[in-house]
Amino acid sequence: MNEAFQILYFIILIVTIIILTTIGVQIILILSEIRKIFQKINLMMTTIVNLSQTIEKSLTPLTDITHGLKSLFEIINKFKKKGKDKSHE
């Protein structure tokens, strides 16, 4: 009886070790997949930041041009108003 109990205890111990080892390996595999996913997300975010910076650099001259045109039209409108004011006098 004592010997049968020791054999059963040993079998349960071996099965528990195998199950825990399998769970540990699966956790390691899951964590490595999560790491790969985060690396891909990081690469995508870097690409998006670079793209947005490129777009920003491309649009900066356009905004400067539009501000310049706006100022030009404001000056032209002021001269037109002065011309109309002088002609009414």
Tell whether 50 is covered by a domain: yes
Domain contains 14: no
Residue 6: per-residue pLDDT: 94
Separation between Cα atoms, residue 16 and residue 10, nearest integer Å: 10
Decide if pLDDT at 11 tops 60.
yes
2 phi and psi, to 5 degrees? -65, -40
Q: Domain for residue 56, yes or no?
A: yes
Structural domain tally of the chain?
Answer: 1
Higher pLDDT, 42 or 54: 42
Question: Residue for token digits 């825990």?
Answer: 20
75 assigned to some structural domain: no
Q: Quote the CA–CA distance of 38 and 30 in Å, as a whole number.
A: 12
Q: Which of 23-27, 51-55, 76-80 has the lowest mean pLDDT?
A: 76-80
Q: Which domain holds residue 45?
A: 38-68
Cα separation, 23 vs 65, whole angstroms: 63
C-alpha–C-alpha distance, residues 80 and 41, integer Å? 57
